[in-house]
Amino acid sequence: MDKPINQYAWWQKGIIYQVYPRSFQDSNNDGIGDLQGIIQRLDHLQWLGIPALWISPIYPSPMADFGYDIADYTGIDPIFGNMDDFDELLTELHNRDMKLILDLVPNHTSNQHPWFIESKSSIDNPKRDWYIWHDPLPDGSPPNNWLSVFGGPAWEWDENSKQFYYHAFLKEQPDLNWRNEEVKQAMMDVIRFWLKKGVDGFRVDVMWHMIKDKQFRDNPVNKDYENHMADYEKLLPVYSTDQPMVHDIVREMRAVLDEFGNRLLIGEIYLPVHKLVTYYGHENKGAHLPFNFLLLGLPWDASVISSVIDEYEGALPENGWPNWVLDNHDQSRITSRVGFMQAKVAVILLLTLRGTPTIYYGDEIGMRDVPIPFNEVMDPQGLNMPGKNLSRDPARTPMQWDDSLYAGFSGSRPWLRIDKSYARENVAIQKNKPFSMLTLYHKLIALRQSEPTLMVGDYKPVYSNNQMIAYIRHAEGSSRFLIVLNMSHRPCYFKPQHEVFTGQVVAATIPELEDMRIDGDINLSGDEGIIIKLDN
Ligand code: GLC
């Protein structure tokens, strides 16, 4: 902490909560969540202490990839409501002093977007160059070996114009050509449209995909590929993603946000740390927060996690603000990856590390991945690569609000089935239970948001071994905190070497540990984690 707390930006002090709109709350009983539904549930989010919402795409879309295939960047899909509903949501949020972050999907459009329809209509259409069209090789095959993230080749043949177009995802999601100046200007206008409405920021979808190799060279083979992995991982996407010129675009996006002031630019980027941090941009003029997905893919092992935290902290550019994520709508839920008890340890980690945390809806009640029978699978990634357990549906099931039919999510059968345990595990029930996940989230958020040290203070590793990790958060003129997390199921023992820590436990995975005095050694049972407010 190198300046007074009030000089930090809202998104540095804040917490982001991701809403997957299809699954949050249905207000019109069509089985699909919508904007009015989100409005109805703002009380919950306010009670929980959430300062900022990020909502996955709500724009008009044929829903081939559930909204990540956009047919109109400045409208609202009727399934979610209309522009009045959107304006109401934004006003309601701002009235509560909460922020709204939209999902922006600039890498590709829907194949139903008028831009693509025009582009496809003929080889000399003025919008032809807005997408990535390429002649076949002399033998008629695709221009190169690039693969689609969702399975199969990334090139789709257009019989009419006798060319291929490139799609990093579904063939219904053609990639825009970001080397084309008009494309860039059109998307900057989209950004301005929403910023003028008062939107507080964007989460930019697949930011590292936006520019591809100009020469379209073949991607090399991934020698570490194993059969259970997605087909896409057979190659290393070194020519199809993360090209240097992408940083120019990110900088331009950021400049548009800066025209308005006080807005946030997040980038969805799955890259190793040393590449990820380049997205902060030269002199931090790139993304404010390149999403940090490190905790998502690693084994839940204290020594691994502690060294990765240090690696990340060490790699950050000066004044680059950190951020942490446990899961999202594309990944397994944290509860399913590490188990219910460790999910409590995980949220203490998330909410006490240095940097902005993002919480995925439903994690606050410990929602699990829900097994979706084959004949009910909706996600194209699951449908295209059956048998590999790659469907993202399990992490996208309806929010469990109460024990009524359909869990209070909807009055009719939801688009995805609800966890069978919903009558036991829901917001209404957990709200009154001292041992519940929800109570823990509520306490941790309140603590974090009332302690400048936890919001913006420095991070210092203290100790770690194969079971546990301990670190300190400190800030001049504010309380000091020691966090000790047992990431194993067995008891662990912490004998501090250089300092005798004394203080009081202010939050813990279980209420029995709260208010306990600490004086020297710390012993924890399996799956326990504590936050200690130190005496000095
Ligand atoms: C991002 C989104 C994911 C989507 C993909 C294509 O990774 O998070 O849900 O399928 O981009 O837009």
Q: How far apart are CA 21 and CA 30, in angstroms?
A: 13
3-state SS of 128-143? HHHECEECCCCCCCCC
Instruction: Quote the DSSP letter at residue 19.
Output: E
Residue 95 has pLDDT above 80, yes or no: yes
Q: How far apart are CA 193 and CA 477, in angstroms?
A: 42
* pLDDT (0 to 100) of residue 520: 93
Q: Which residues have CB under 8 Å from 515's CB, separation 6+?
A: 504, 505
C-beta separation of 53 from 62 below 8 A:
no
Which ligand 1 atom is the nearest neighbour of the CA of 270? Answer: 7
Rounded to the nearest 5 degrees, what angle is found at the Cα of 298, between the Cα atoms of 296 and 301? 120
- The widest CA-to-CA distance across the chain, in whole angstroms, is 77
The first and second tokens of residue 298, run together, are 């690693």
C-beta separation of 383 from 374 below 8 A:
no
* pLDDT (0 to 100) of residue 87: 99
The first and second tokens of residue 193, run together, are 């449209």
Q: 3-class DSSP state for residue 460?
A: strand
Which ligand 1 atom is the nearest neighbour of the CA of 330? Answer: 9
The first and second tokens of residue 160, run together, are 């009419």
| CATH assignment at residue 516 | 2.60.40.1180
pLDDT tens digits for range 492-529: 999 998 899 999 999 999 999 999 999 999 999 999 99
C-beta separation of 51 from 392 below 8 A:
no
Nearest to 197 by CA among 107, 294, 89: 89
Q: How far apart are CA 254 and CA 249, in angstroms?
A: 9
C-beta separation of 401 from 409 below 8 A:
yes
Query: Is the CB–ligand 1 distance for residue 104 below 6 Å?
Result: no
Secondary structure element (H or E) that encloses residue 517, with its range: strand 517-519
C-beta separation of 427 from 44 below 8 A:
yes
The length of the chain is 536
Average pLDDT over every residue of 173-179: 99
Scored b (16 or more CB within 10 A) or e, 328-342 reads bbebbbbbbbbbebb
Average pLDDT over every residue of 187-194: 98
Instruction: Residue 4: count other Cβ atoms within 10 Å of its Cβ.
Output: 10
Residue 1 has pLDDT above 90, yes or no: no
Tell whether 296 is covered by a domain.
no
Chain-centre distance for alpha carbon 353: 17
* pLDDT (0 to 100) of residue 75: 98
Average pLDDT over every residue of 266-275: 98
Q: 3-class DSSP state for residue 251?
A: helix
Instruction: Out of 259, 283, 499, 519, pick the active-site residue.
Output: 259
Nearest-CA residue for atom 12 of ligand 1? 68
Q: How far apart are CA 494 and CA 13, in angstroms?
A: 30
- Residue 2 annotated in active site: no
Domain extent at residue 487: 458-534
Q: How far apart are CA 147 and CA 155, in angstroms?
A: 8
Average pLDDT over every residue of 359-365: 99
Quote the crossing angle between the two packed helices 181-197 and 246-260, to the nearest 10°.
Answer: 30
Tell whether 530 is covered by a domain.
yes
Rounded to the nearest 5 degrees, what angle is found at the Cα of 127, between the Cα atoms of 149 and 68? 30
3-state SS of 181-220? HHHHHHHHHHHHHHHHHCCCEEEECCHHHCCCCCCCCCCC
Tell whether 528 is covered by a domain.
yes
Tell whether 516 is covered by a domain.
yes
Query: Is the CB–ligand 1 distance for residue 169 below 6 Å?
Result: yes
Gap from CA of 422 to ligand 1 centroid (Å): 27
Top mutation candidate among 205, 209, 296, 379 for ligand 1, by most atoms within 8 Å of CB: 205
Query: Is the CB–ligand 1 distance for residue 409 below 6 Å?
Result: no
Instruction: Out of 26, 175, 205, 451, pick the active-site residue.
Output: 205
In this structure, which amino acid lies at residue 134?
A: H
* pLDDT (0 to 100) of residue 220: 98
Gap from CA of 205 to ligand 1 centroid (Å): 6
Query: Is the CB–ligand 1 distance for residue 66 below 6 Å?
Result: no
Q: How many domains does the chain have?
A: 1
Q: How far apart are CA 302 and CA 316, in angstroms?
A: 21
Tell whether 30 is covered by a domain.
no
Tell whether 491 is covered by a domain.
yes
The first and second tokens of residue 346, run together, are 């995980």
C-beta separation of 239 from 274 below 8 A:
no
* pLDDT (0 to 100) of residue 2: 73
Gap from CA of 513 to ligand 1 centroid (Å): 40
Top mutation candidate among 150, 206, 291 for ligand 1, by most atoms within 8 Å of CB: 206
Gap from CA of 353 to ligand 1 centroid (Å): 26
Rounded to the nearest 5 degrees, what angle is found at the Cα of 442, between the Cα atoms of 427 and 31? 30
Nearest-CA residue for atom 5 of ligand 1? 68
Nearest to 414 by CA among 8, 33, 14: 33
The pairing of strands 264-267 and 289-290 is parallel
Tell whether 251 is covered by a domain.
no
Tell whether 289 is covered by a domain.
no
Average pLDDT over every residue of 105-113: 99
Gap from CA of 168 to ligand 1 centroid (Å): 10
Average pLDDT over every residue of 408-413: 98
User: What percentage of residues in the chain have a pLDDT greater than 90?
Assistant: 99
pLDDT tens digits for range 417-470: 999 999 999 999 999 899 999 999 999 999 999 999 999 999 999 999 999 999
Residue 165 bridge partners (DSSP): 133, 156
Which ligand 1 atom is the nearest neighbour of the CA of 392? Answer: 9
Give me the chain's average pLDDT, please. 97
